[in-house]
Structures are given as structure tokens and as C-alpha cells.
Chains A and B, each alone.
Chain A
Amino acid sequence: MARAIWSGSISFGLVNIPVKLYSAVKDHSVHFHMLHEKDGVRVRQQLVCPLDDEEIDRDEVVKGYEISPDQYVTVTGDELESLTPKASRTIEILDFVGLPEIDPVYYQHPYYLVPDEQAGRPYSLLVAAMEKANRVGISKFVMRDKEYLAALRPVGGVIVLETMHFADEVVQASELEGEMPELKEPTEKELKMAGQLIDMLAGSFDPEQYHDDYREAVMDLVNTKAEGKEYVMPPPVKEEGKVIDIMVALEKSLARAREQKEEAKPSKKPAKKTKAHARAG
């Protein structure tokens, strides 16, 4: 069941199109918990202060930015919160550029933009216009206190919003210059052979044919173990105490409540109380 992650509106010039954001990908990785091998109990992580040599609470922790070795400027959650960009809920298109101009290294995470009920017309108009002009919209928007750069691409009548890295996040290939060995020009013959190898494996892009073999192997292992009943049983924790506690507490509360009720009837003779012999188990 798809659920919208965020809602806002696409805006450029005087145009405003209310939309909802849906993730275009889902996580299929296998998740494990950490158990103590000896007894199969889920382990807990501790925050420890080496100076006090004791466990501390998460709310005793503050963020520190290292401005020089071992010198920190501390910042509290509240201070950071006061800086967060105002949630304006607009995806502001700044430029329309040609799709091939954007190197895929900039792409981060894809989302689908779905128009609100009444925004169908301006939405499909934008899609058609971008397709005709063969251009994509570069925009900025704020989601969950973070500012994003994003490309709005028309794909089969739907706008895909692809978040992008900012320029200063991308390592330019030229920065690898020191790491690359000397690259020589290939010969005609070498090039021809390589070309033939490429032709042999040439085909159209069909993502369905590629499987996450590792993930499938891990799930097979887990399922086989479960069917063979090879699972871990940690020792039972005694919680009978809590149930006994509440039943004792109820008895006391009841006795008090009955006493109060009796005391609230001063004019009555000490009449027969309807007793309830509760043989509590």
C-alpha cells in the first residue's frame, strides 16, 4: 500500500501545482537483530563516559563540532532546530535544462510526484510541456528540515522527482588524477577486439533479468533453518511477579473503595455487607 511521504506544491512563476511525494524505490535488504550467542537474548547498546566510567543516558549527550583537534564547539538540539529552513512546502523550479546535461553521478533518490485531485490539468500540462521541450526542471525544496536539490523529469506521463547531490558533495573525477596510473591509447586491433566483445554481450536494458543472488541465498538459509526448527530459545523471563502485583493492588484498592463507601453511609446501621469470597487464583 503506497503512502505519501510528503506533500507540497510545484511552483514556478505564477504556477502552483499541489502534489504528494511517494518513494519510487523500496528497501529489500534482509534485517537482523543482534543476539548474545550464549543465550539468544537481544543485546542492548550502552553509551559510556570513559571519564566517569559509567553508563549515561541519551539526553546527557550533546553534539560537538571539532573546530581543531580536541577542541569542540557544542550545539544543542534546540539551537539546531531554530536554524532549520522554514517549511514552505514548495518545490521551486529554478531552471529547465536538457536531461543529457545532468551527469547521473548527481542523482540520489527517486520519488514520484502525484498531483492532488484538482491539480490534474496543470500537472499534465507541465509534463507535456517538458516532454515537448525535452527539458527537465531543476528545483530546490525542504523536506524534514533538510534542503534538497532535485530534478523533475517527465517519465511516461508522470513526474519523477530525483533528489540530487549539491555540487560540493560531488567528487570531481579530476580529483582522482593522483590515483590513476598512466593511460595509454589502445591500438586499432585492440579496439576492434574489444568492440567485438561488447557486441557479443550487447542487448537492450531489461532490469528484470538481474537478481540479488546474495539476498536470495540469505533468505534461503534463514527459511531452511526455520523449517528445520533450528531457532534460538532464550531462557524464559519471570514476569509472573507483575501479574501478582496488580492482583494484590486490585485487592487493596477494592478493600479501600468498599471502606470508603461504608463510611459514606453514616445514617445506616452496620447492615449486612454482601460479601464476595473471591478465591483468587
Chain B
Amino acid sequence: MYPEVAVASLSDHIKDQSVVAEPMPAHIQPMLATLSELPGEHRPYAYEYKWDGIRALYFLEAGQWRVETRNLNDVTVAYPELADLAAGLEHSSAILDGEIVAMNEHGHPSFGRLSHRLGLTEAHAAARAVDTPVTYMIFDVLYLDGYSLMPLEYRERRGMLEELGLSGESWKTPPSFTGDGGPVLDAARENHLEGVVAKKLDSPYRQGLRTKEWLKIKIVRRQEFVIGGWTPLRTGAPVVGALLIGYYEPGKGRDGRRLIYAGSVGTGFSEHDRETLARLLESRQRDTNPFAERVPKASVMFAEPELVGEVEYRGWTGQGHLRQPSFKGLRDDKEPTDVVREDIVKK
């Protein structure tokens, strides 16, 4: 990873006493990242892809392994497929830090998919391992063979992690890049990942702390959606509380293409916007639902799908609804029938 600097091995560190022998900690509170903009390209950070899953620490000691989550819950029984990772380690004791992810049908990490694996007992986990397989993305090594690596700089720990060469059916060591984080963020965006994490090269592992040595840069997505309905802010008042939005199935022309419901957006409006939109939508009022399926909301006023609005969002839920949507304004430069789901259509 850093050709200019030879990576020291564990024995080197033991010799120069940069690591200290200590009993394996029973629990570790993971180090956390602060939300931030992408650091400038000359800042001393390494960039890793951000995986939308469950943060998990893997403990191996005397042939026994276990997995713990951020709030120190032991979830070992829920992930039987990680048993073979212990064998692949070839070390007597180790603690790894990483993220458990599940992929959706489009091949992107999906927290929604993973939620099927949460809170499972042993009896259920085996069955779930089949229809919702997970992968443990390993990004740090905190303890090895009786020595804590947490005082070492990130670049040192990263070198040692890569030496471990952990790659198996249900676990991988995703890459880390130095230099310009811009292209890494672009690659993440193109592949529908949550974002990128920037890690300061000289940072030790700070248990349980949210510092600026680790920065999370989240990708925000944006596209137009068709407005097919609204709910009032207060009963009876002609003021928009939330807009019901959707997109058309891909294809040509209007015939037979269904308007798919993508959720409701209730933020991003000024009071004036809420009143203006209500007027515009009331004049386009219709009794029947323009969306292809039932809309799971009460007090809905439907409208002819003629208005198009731009919405910023952070991803899609497993049910095909937007996550954290925020309204950015009406667009009069796009035909409603041209509005499709952009992250799937461009393949």
C-alpha cells in the first residue's frame, strides 16, 4: 500500500516496543468517524469504501471465536458462516474490526437486506444464512498473538492487516487508498455505496471515540420524481405536509407504463412552498390513485402526475422507498414520463 515505507512485522514492533504484551480485552468499543466533507488531496489520509451494514468486531482466542456489535452485544450465533475465518487466521489470538454487509438483488450492499439477519437465535440463523448470506468486510486489526496493536499508527495496522491476507467465501479485506480521495468517492458513488471513510495515516485506534481522525463522507444522491399526491400539514388545511412521489417504469411512451411509488418527502419546504404546492396540486386533483400500488398513508389527496420535483436522498430501502429524502424544488424542464429510477436504469 505504501511502497515508500516498508511495513514492519509484528516481531519488529515487539522488538522496538511499539506494541505491548497484554491480555486480550474482553470487549472493544469501536472507533467512530465524524461526518465531514472530503479532505483535500494533499491531506495525509487513506480512503476506504464505506459499507452500509453492521459494525462488528471479531474475537479469536484459544480456538474460540465470537462476534460483537457496536453496543457490545454478542451476535456470534447469528453469523455461523464466519466460523471458518478463525481457521484462515493462522494466529493464536486476534481481534478484527469490520462491517457485516448483505447484498441486495442489484449487487449493492443493502442495510434493508441485512435487517433479516438481526436478532436471530441459533435455530433461525442457519436458515437465514441461506437466503440472506453476509460478508464480513475487514478493515482493521486491533490485537494479534498477545499484543495490542491499537497504539500503532493506521498505516502500520493496515500493513499488518494486508499481510494477514484474509479473503474467504464470507469475508474480504477491501482496499485502502492514499492520495486523492476524489476518484475513490466517484467510484463509490457509481457503485451505489454509502460513501467513503477517510482515515488519518498516523492515527492510533481510539477505542469508543468519535474523532476527526476518521471522517465519513456520505454520498448524497439526487434525481427528479413525479408528484402523484400529497398529505396536508394539518387536517383540512391547504398546506402540503408531505409529497407522495414516484417514477415510471422504463420504456417508451406513456402506454402501459406504471408509476411506481417511491415514498413521501416531508422536508425541504419553506412555508411558502407548502402553500404554493398545495394550490398547484389541488388544481390537479384526482380521485383515483395514480400509483401502481396502494399507498400506505392516510389522508392522501391524489393528483394528476404532471408535476416533477427534484429530491435529494441517501439511498433506497429494501421496499423501494427513498431514505432521508429532502425536497429541492420543482422542475419544469423534464417530462413526467421521462422520470425513471436512475440508479437502476443506467447499468
Contacts and interface: CB of A to CB of B under 8 A. Distances in A.
Interface of A: 6-7, 18, 40-42, 78, 81-82, 84, 86, 226, 229, 231-240, 242-243, 245-247, 249-250, 253-254, 256-258, 260-261, 273-281
B145 interface: no
Given A41-B130, A236-B81, A236-B133, A245 B49 contact: no
Interface in B178-194: 178-180, 182-184, 186-188, 190-191, 193
A265 to B, nearest CB: 11
B127 A237 contact: no
Interface residues of B, number: 51
24 contacts: A7-B299, A231-B126, A232-B127, A234-B127, A236-B129, A236-B130, A237-B131, A246-B103, A246-B191, A247-B174, A249-B191, A253-B190, A253-B191, A254-B183, A257-B182, A260-B183, A274-B179, A275-B179, A276-B176, A276-B178, A277-B1, A278-B177, A281-B138, A281-B167
Contacts of A250: 49, 187-188, 191, 193
Contacts of A245: 107
A73 B188 CA distance: 52
A151 to B, nearest CB: 24
A258 B108 CA distance: 22
| Most B CB within 10 A of own CB, among A84, A245, A246 | A246
Interface of B: 1-3, 49, 81, 103, 107-109, 121-123, 126-127, 129-131, 133, 135, 138, 162, 165-167, 169-180, 182-184, 186-188, 190-191, 193, 235, 287-289, 298-299
Contacts of A78: 288
Contacts of B170: 240
B3 A277 contact: yes
Nearest to A232: B127
A281 B179 contact: no
| Most A CB within 10 A of own CB, among B135, B173, B299 | B135
Given A233-B126, A254-B184, A281-B172, A42 B103 contact: no
A257 B187 contact: yes
A240 B169 contact: yes
B288 A239 contact: no
Given A41-B130, A257-B187, A278 B123 contact: no
Contacts of B193: 250
A23 B52 CA distance: 37
Contacts of B177: 254, 276, 278
Nearest to A230: B123
Nearest to B185: A257
A52 to B, nearest CB: 20
B1 A276 contact: yes
